[in-house]
Amino acid sequence: MKCPYCSFPDSKVIDSRPKDEKIKRRRECINCGARFTTFEEVEKPLLMVEKRSGSYEEFDRNKLITGIFNAIKKRPVSMKQVENIADNIENHYANALRTVAKSKEIGELVLDQLREIDPIAYIRFASVYEDFSDIAGFMDVIGEIERNRNKGEK
């Protein structure tokens, strides 16, 4: 790390600690002895989302969280659980080294996680994600939940 005071190209780390999903480092210049602070964070690869229309847009974590929040209104689902879903989706694509995801895949990943957390939130999210046009769509999803619940009881 280049010293901001004398521009010497090397410094040593004196202290390092986590702070708000970043690493805060106190450094000391080897040349002039000046001390300064740097922040380090993990750079995630750019993830593009292929929409149903065929167009592309940059993955927006806030948009995903907003969509999940619409499904969990007045449900016993915590902010931490919603953040975990968003983290899991981002990590899924980062770990697979993928830079393009279909919106349908992302929706299915959200549904898989909501199914485990809250069945009503799952149905709400599915109704928007699947774009139900009639009651039969709702009935299919409710039937799926009941079948899974009955399997768990046996």
pLDDT digits (tens, 9 = 90+) for 81-137: 999 999 999 989 988 889 999 999 999 999 999 988 988 888 888 877 776 666 776
User: Rounded to whole angstroms, how far apart are CA atoms 129 and 114?
Assistant: 13
Q: Residue 154 — pLDDT band, cuts 50, 70, 90?
A: low
What is the mean pLDDT of the segment spanning 44-62?
A: 91
CB environment 115-138: b (16+ within 10 A), e (fewer): bebbbbbbbbbbeebeebeeeeee
User: Rounded to whole angstroms, how far apart are CA atoms 115 and 108?
Assistant: 10
What is the mean pLDDT of the segment spanning 34-63?
A: 90
> C-alpha dihedral over 114, 138, 126, 71, to 10 degrees?
-70
At residue 153, does pLDDT exceed 60?
no
- What is the tens place of the pLDDT at every residue in 8-27? 999 999 999 988 778 999 99
